[in-house]
Structure 1
Amino acid sequence: MPEILVLYYSHRGSVRALAEQIALGIESVGGVGARLRTVPRLATVIDAPEPAIPQAGPPYVEASDLEDCAGLALGSPTRFGNMAAPLKYFLDGTSPQWLSGALAGKPACVFTSTATQHGGQESTLLSMMLPLFHHGMLVMGLPFTLTELNATREGGTPYGVSHVAGPQADARLSEHERKLAFAQGRRLAELTLKLEAPRA
């Protein structure tokens, strides 16, 4: 069964909440599974690395996760309108996959969380798309045919689902955010199966 990699970095839990909802959307489609993976925080000193296995949550991503996946959902909190350094650090090390074309032709989507409504959600989503385009991936967004995208006063963009955590870093998704994340996962799974069909 093809698996879609849901790869994210989450500092306070809201990006993880989106990832989990996207995974539920993926798994709501028969014939495809979700593989949740994360990246470690970056240590500012050499003698304080993250443990090899996270204490909680999904395992850290490995190169084989990228090579084996049938699709990719990529998520990060916003850092001044850009993806967070731990995720970018991981992506910066994917030259072997770029050289081999491991991700070329596979579908992908992106998602993010910010503290404020105008905290750079869309530019962060676009920044995450750039390496995916270089890898030759087929990047999809969210259509305005999803009524929640028109109605939301929280997170949600046509570039990908988002969450507004607020000044207290609230990781709880609103009803609109939850539905949009689920829909994004479902759409990615459906597209993955359509692209996989000719290969079977």
Structure 2
Amino acid sequence: MTRVLVLYYSSYGHLRRLAEAEAEGARSVPGTHVDLRRVPETLSEEIRTKAGFAKDDTPEATPADLEAYDAILFGTPTLFGMMAGQMKSFLDQAGGLWARNALVGKVAGVFTSTGSQHGGHEATLLSTQIPLQHFGMLIAGMPYSFSGQTTGDAIIGGAPYGAGTIAGADGSRQPSEVDLAGARFQGAHVARIAARLAGTDWLEEAA
């Protein structure tokens, strides 16, 4: 059975909704086991409350958990054109996995939420992929076979680099059905690739 982890950080709930859609898409692929987890919060409960952050009872992951999966989908909001510090902190703690090549050959995808259409949406998707490639992961985006991303009739999140949504300056805009469909598409896309690659011994191919 192919094992897929959907791992995210969410402040106001947009990323959690996308993560649930990613997990739904991955589960639609026969023979796939999917876990939904969040990265630990680095802010105090007092700050979260003052900022109006959404409550989230999704179980937390640890960096050591990543090794058990064939594919991992990473969801992070855009903060100043980059991934959230909580996600960066989580990845920074995975140096032991990097040292052992424990993530080499695993499939990775990225999805995001951004306040505005030009607020760093694609920059976050692309820059988040950089540390994943240092881990030796294989990046899967959201190809144009998901045609919903090409419509000009409405504000649409996501890009060929991954699924996404536009939350609006005040965070009031929720993921549209097209955004959620893109996330489900990406989840299934990653699960199918992981299923094809499962069982490959990547370290045997190392020079």
Same fold (TM over 0.5): yes
Paired residue for 1:176?
Answer: 178
Q: Partner of 1:190: helix, strand, or coil?
A: helix
Query: Alpha-carbon deviations, 1:122-176, whole Å to 9, x = none?
Result: 1111111011000000001111122101115321201000100112313632121
The answer to whether the 8 A contact 1:113-1:121 is kept is yes
- Please give the alpha-carbon distance, in whole angstroms, between the structure 1 residues aligned to 2:3 and 2:131: 21
Task: Within 5 Å, give how 1:117-156 maps onto structure 2.
Answer: 117-151=117-151, 153-156=155-158
Query: Alpha-carbon deviations, 1:4-26, whole Å to 9, x = none?
Result: 11111000000111100000000
Residue 104 of structure 1 pairs with residue 104 of structure 2: yes
What is the total number of aligned residue pairs between the two structures?
193
Paired residue for 1:26?
Answer: 26
- Please give the alpha-carbon distance, in whole angstroms, between the structure 2 residues aligned to 1:86 and 1:42: 6
**Residue type matched to 2:16 in 1?**
R
Paired residue for 2:58?
Answer: 58
Residue 167 of structure 1 pairs with residue 185 of structure 2: no
- Please give the alpha-carbon distance, in whole angstroms, between the structure 1 residues aligned to 2:36 and 2:64: 13
Paired residue for 2:9?
Answer: 9
With normalisation by structure 2, the TM-score equals 0.87
Give runs of ≥4 in structure 1 deviating > 4 Å: none
- Please give the alpha-carbon distance, in whole angstroms, between the structure 2 residues aligned to 1:29 and 1:170: 32
**Residue type matched to 2:193 in 1?**
L
Paired residue for 2:85?
Answer: 85
Unaligned 5+ runs, structure 2: 48-54, 202-207
Deviation at 1:198, TM superposition (A): 5.2
Paired residue for 1:52?
Answer: none
The answer to whether the 8 A contact 2:111-2:158 is kept is no
Instruction: Give the fraction of aligned pairs with identical amino acids, expressed as a percent.
Output: 41
Deviation at 1:57, TM superposition (A): 2.5
The answer to whether the 8 A contact 1:107-1:139 is kept is yes
